[in-house]
Homo-oligomer: A and B are copies of this chain.
Amino acid sequence: MRVLIPFRPVNPKTRLSEVMSREERERFAFCMLLDVLRALENFDCDVRIISTHPMSLEGYEVEVDSRELDEAINSRIEGETAVIMPDIPLINEKVLERFFGTEGDVVIAPGRRGGTNMILIRKDVFRVSYHYCSYVKHSKRAKDLKLRLSTFDSFFASVDVDRPEDLLEIMIHGEGKISYDYLKSIGFKVEFEREPKLVRV
């Protein structure tokens, strides 16, 4: 199986700008990518990082592609192909085992607000379309193509980190993760006295 991981190493996660500098966002995005790669470590699959800019990462194949996300991904769907977002650091081997083992021509792990955080495509006539509620668009496409769609039910896969409030989830559930350690190292912690609140000290 082919696994595509799209990645933006330069000025990523701009919605985190209010709580992190650009350099921190770049480091943090890289930590999240490492967590995702670690979850994939023990699977026998062809992992390709599709990067918007040149970068190197020992042991991994990086393909630079500056086109739009959909084009970059769709041009690489061939045979059984999974697309995994690089900002879901809470996934682990157990989650992926269950995901890869889920039946269906197209299997989607949804994120909040209609996102598609992981997708497993077993009929390579399928094409992705990521922007604006991709979950609904992908469901519709599968239906139009008469493909069996499964929704993969995972909390850990549903937590993609885009906004400051998402960092809270990493601080609560991410112990042992590279991205958790990084957030801690730059001063993030959770205050538990009332409604849990993310602060930076």
Contact = CB atoms under 8 A, between A and B. Distances in A.
Contact of A153 (B95, B137, B190): B95
Contact of A172 (B133, B157, B168, B195): B133
Q: How large is the interface on A (under 10, 10 to 19, 20 to 34, 35 or more residues)?
A: 20 to 34
Contact of A192 (B136, B165, B196): B136
Contact of A136 (B94, B114, B172): B172
A135 B171 CA distance: 12
A126 interface: no
B113 A168 contact: yes
Copies of this chain present: 2
A165 B166 CA distance: 14
Contact of A155 (B114, B137, B157, B196): B157
A196 B113 contact: yes
A196 B114 contact: yes
Interface centre among A133, A151, A194 (most CB of B within 10 A): A133
Given A113-B168, A113-B195, A196-B113, A151 B132 contact: no
Contacts of A110: 155, 172-173
Given A110-B155, A110-B173, A113-B168, A192 B95 contact: no
Interface string A74-103: 000000000000000000001100100000
Contact of A132 (B136, B156, B194): B194
A137 B169 CA distance: 15
A118 to B, nearest CB: 11
Interface of A: 94-95, 98, 109-110, 112-114, 132-133, 135-137, 151, 153-158, 165, 168-169, 172-173, 190, 192-196
30 contacts: A94-B153, A95-B153, A98-B153, A110-B155, A112-B169, A113-B165, A113-B168, A113-B195, A113-B196, A114-B192, A132-B192, A132-B193, A132-B195, A133-B172, A133-B190, A133-B195, A133-B196, A135-B172, A136-B172, A136-B190, A136-B192, A137-B192, A151-B173, A153-B154, A153-B155, A153-B156, A154-B154, A154-B155, A155-B158, A158-B158
